[in-house]
Amino acid sequence: MAKLKVLVEGYARKTAGGWEASSTAVLLEDSGKRIVVDPGCNERMLLEALGKEMVSPGDVDLVFLTHCHLDHLLNVRLFPGVDVADARNAYRGDEEFALKGRIPGTGIRIIDTPGHVREHSALLAETGDGVVAVAGDLWWWREGMQPEMPGEAELLSLEDHIAEDKEMLVASRKAILAMADLIVPGHGKPFRVEK
């Protein structure tokens, strides 16, 4: 059974010049492996959160990226020598190896969730809180806009103004809602799925 800790709650704020954003960063531990998901771009917040968990960047086995938007991946630079993965492959230096739907050596599943971008994916992990989906930007809210207990209709219709394919996005959302008990969005607070 995996353990999950939200290290940094992601945020997205509209500013006069554009956006200020960093993704939700998650620490997953399963079968003796430590995985940081979407390390974001706020270096100070991530390093402080890892320190509170008594984890240094060198203690991490894998950095997993749900997708390749900069607000989710800039802090990869804080993990030199650590394997980095997306939905299909992981890299150890310049050596590539296929993942085949799972994080190697763990029970953590990789699920394709296209829509926000084509290569988007989520992780599913069995935890003490049930099945948790680390969903990346399958769901995200501007700061202060997330409802306390969003219902299914609201979750399926949530606007994503930068989504590449809105139909695929809705289909991916439906699939994750059917599988997960708790969802960690790309920007905002984790929320329970009402079954």
Q: Where does the pLDDT of residue 54 fall: very low under 50, low under 70, confident under 90, or very high at 90 and above?
A: very high
- Cβ pair 182, 133 in contact under 8 A: yes
Residue 193, φ and ψ in degrees, nearest 5: -95, 125
Domains of the chain, each with CATH number or no CATH? 3-192 (3.60.15.10)
**Between β-strands 33-37 and 11-15, what pairing exists: parallel, antiparallel or unpaired?**
unpaired
For residues 155 and 4, what is the distance between their CA atoms, to the nearest angstrom?
Answer: 22
pTM: 0.96
Q: Which residues pair with 19 in a beta bridge?
A: 14
pLDDT number for residue 149: 85
What confidence tier does 65 reach under pLDDT thresholds 50, 70, 90? Answer: very high
116-160 pLDDT, tens digit per residue, is 999 999 999 999 999 999 999 999 999 999 998 889 999 999 999
